[in-house]
Amino acid sequence: MPLADPRHAHPSRTMPLGLGAFLTLSVLALALLFRATHSASAQVPWPTPPPAPVQALAQVIPVFQITPVPAPARPGALAAQIDPIAGGPVPRVPPQPFAPLVAGGPSPEQQVTFEIPAGSMDRTLQFTYEPLVLGEAPQAPSDLRLQRVFRLLTFDHTARPASIQFRRPVRLLLRPTMDELQAAGNDPARLLLAWFDPERNRWLPLVTTFDATQDTVMARILKPGLLALAAVPPPLTP
């Protein structure tokens, strides 16, 4: 049987083969393009996160390595060792954990409380509290009358003085006596806590609030040193 001459093949039998291959390749190309476009739009790159805050670890010094500082030889004086409390890299909203330092006499009116919050110290420190008589304190301006003066000092674990600044403010709280309230005209809003600046040689009033539910005045300090409760005398009435 003679073979068919390809030159005599009918066009309708050859053209669909080439057209089918072309259509197949076109469909595959469109599918790949759609897949790539859809994948790119669905997988939006995440923004680069900011670096985490870096904070040095607090150093807790063992007790056997600490040379104790003696308390001042005065009634109501106190010496204490305070270990740092880890505050974490991100500040917490109140209430925060704190280490209390309560000094003064046995009655609530004689006590002075320092609330040392977490993250305010980077190592173990020693504190001394010493009440002073008014005659030992630097003179206050005429519009400020000192009522109570006390000194808070810090020492390292070798009992050497340590000049520090708290990383976070320390709360200072005390309850005024009846005499101290009378000096302010029985108006607690006229009672102020003050810190003595040795460089400027003057008393600096602190932002002070009065808690009527606890009958206490409160301020925040960033440095230890000489502190006082002062009264702003009321205006004279004719």
CA 133 distance to own-chain centroid:
34
Q: Which helix (H) or strand (E) holds 174?
A: strand 170-174
CB atoms within 10 A of CB 123: 16
What amino acid occupies position 103?
Answer: A
How does strand 145-155 pair with strand 216-221? unpaired
Neighbours of 138 (CB within 10 A): 14
The answer to whether the beta carbons of residues 117 and 171 sit under 8 Å apart is yes
Q: Mean pLDDT, to the nearest integer, of 53-63? A: 76
Q: pLDDT tens digit string along 21-55?
A: 666 666 666 666 656 555 544 455 566 666 655 55
pLDDT tier at 12 (50, 70, 90 boundaries)? Answer: very low
Q: Which fold has domain 63-231?
A: Chondroitinase Ac; Chain A, domain 3 (2.60.220)
Cα(202)–Cα(237) distance, integer angstroms: 29
